[in-house]
Amino acid sequence: MPMKLLTLLFCLFVGANSFAQHTNNIYQEFEVAQNAEFPEGIENFKKLIYQNIQYPAQKKKAITVISFLVNEQGKLEQVKALKKAGDGYDEAAIKAIMTVNNKYTWKPALNSNGQIVKVRKTIPIKFE
C-alpha cells in the first residue's frame, strides 16, 4: 500500500512541475534550441550598454551581474541585479540596459519544437 501511495505522489509531483514549466514558457539559456540573439551579437549589446551608462558620483571598481528575460517579442522583462555592486551601480546598469531595450529588439529564443519562448539571460557589467 505505501508503494502505491508513493507512486501516486510522485506522478502528481512530476505532473505539477511539467504543467508549471509549460504555462510559464521561461527557459534558461542552456534549455533552448536557439538562443535569443541581439542584433550584431552580445558584444554589440555590451558595447551599447557601456555607451549608455551614467556612472554614479562615487567612482569605484565594481561588477554587477544583471538578469533579464527576453520575451516572445524580443523585448526585455524582469531586469534585476543578481550580484549587487551597490552605490547606485546596479541602478545605472539597469537604466542603461533599459535604454538599449527601448531602441533595439532581440531575435527571440526557440524551444526544441521551434516555438518562440522567453529565455532568462545574465550579463556581468564591469565598472572601472
DSSP 30: G
pLDDT digits (tens, 9 = 90+) for 57-107: 888 899 999 999 999 999 999 999 999 988 899 999 999 999 999 999 999
Q: Is 4's pLDDT higher than 80?
A: no
Distance, in Å, from the CA atom of 20 to the CA atom of 59, rounded to the nearest integer, reads 44
Q: What is the pLDDT of residue 124?
A: 95
CATH of domain 26-127: 3.30.1150
Q: Other CB atoms closer than 10 Å to residue 106's CB: what's the count?
A: 20
Report the pLDDT value the prediction gives residue 128, as an integer from 0 to 100: 86
Three-class SS of residue 124?
A: strand
In 13-115, which ranges are E strands? 26-28, 62-70, 76-83, 109-110
What are the beta bridge partners of residue 124?
65
**Nine-digit cell at 106?**
532581440
**Position 64, amino acid:** T
Within the chain, how many helices (H) and strands (E) appear? 3, 5
pTM for the model stands at 0.77
